[in-house]
């Protein structure tokens, strides 16, 4: 049984689905951003991913890197999802992959931390939901009926499987700390898109933590 000590899920809309694209960090950053706004609105993952890849000099077929994504939120901002909806796949002609003209952009300052569960819990207790970058393993794909990712004996994080989620709560499972995360694999994963990661899974898996800070205002584009 999970003893819940903090749960910020109500700040978010329904869990979204990145499909088969390497856009987990764009979804995590976008939804962290959306959760800090006065009223929840889906923000454009496509816009954030496009500009982060351009900034880092990376193609749209590979994942984003954290510094470029955070700089994108600060410098480029994001429109709403309605202004550039998420594409289930890149265009066949990648040269046509380009943002449309948008009417407004929301900017957000950001900060990076280390790789500590203590830090994640401190940020949550302060009322914010941090980005958490992880190495995952097979157990992550199949939370149990209680929404708990239970790590089998001998299973370790895979450095070749990197993923980004949002920490939205924390509690205890049988006396062990656990962090509740929001994923970007749709509502079929875990508890409608959320799951609990106990210490034994999370401690060796975390690679980076970041949090979004103050709103840098809304920039009209015309």
Does residue 29 carry a pLDDT above 70? yes
**Average pLDDT of the segment spanning 34-47:** 96
Does residue 51 carry a pLDDT above 90? yes
Mean pLDDT over each residue of the chain, to the nearest integer: 95
Does residue 221 carry a pLDDT above 60? no
- Give the pair of three-digit tokens for residue 15: 């869990």
The domain tally of the chain equals 1
pLDDT tens profile 147-169: 999 999 999 999 999 999 999 99
CATH code at position 151: 3.90.70.10
pLDDT tens profile 191-208: 999 999 999 999 999 999
Does residue 114 carry a pLDDT above 90? no
pLDDT tens profile 4-26: 999 999 999 999 999 999 999 99
**Average pLDDT of the segment spanning 35-54:** 96
**Average pLDDT of the segment spanning 131-148:** 97
pLDDT at 220: 53
What is the residue range of 6's domain? 2-220
């Amino acid at each position: 049984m999970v003893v819940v000590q903090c749960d910020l899920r109500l700040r978010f809309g329904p869990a979204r689905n990145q499909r088969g694209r390497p856009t987990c960090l764009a979804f995590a950053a976008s939804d962290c951003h959306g959760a800090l706004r006065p009223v929840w609105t889906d923000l454009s993952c496509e816009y954030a991913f496009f500009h982060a890849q351009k900034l880092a000099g990376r193609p749209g077929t590979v994942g984003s890197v954290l510094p470029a994504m955070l700089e994108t939120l600060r410098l480029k901002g994001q429109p709403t999802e309605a202004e550039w909806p998420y594409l289930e796949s890149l265009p066949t002609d990648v040269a046509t992959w380009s943002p449309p003209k948008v009417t407004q952009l929301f900017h957000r300052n950001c900060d990076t931390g280390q790789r500590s569960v203590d830090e994640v819990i401190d940020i949550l207790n302060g009322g914010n939901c941090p980005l958490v970058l992880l190495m995952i393993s097979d157990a992550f794909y199949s939370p149990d009926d209680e929404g708990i990712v239970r790590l089998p004996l001998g299973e370790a994080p895979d450095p070749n499987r990197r993923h980004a989620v949002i920490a939205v709560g924390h509690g205890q499972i049988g006396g062990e700390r656990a962090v509740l995360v929001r994923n970007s694999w749709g509502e079929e994963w875990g508890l409608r898109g959320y799951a609990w990661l106990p210490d034994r899974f999370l401690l060796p898996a975390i690679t980076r933590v970041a949090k979004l800070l103050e709103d840098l205002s809304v920039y009209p584009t015309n």
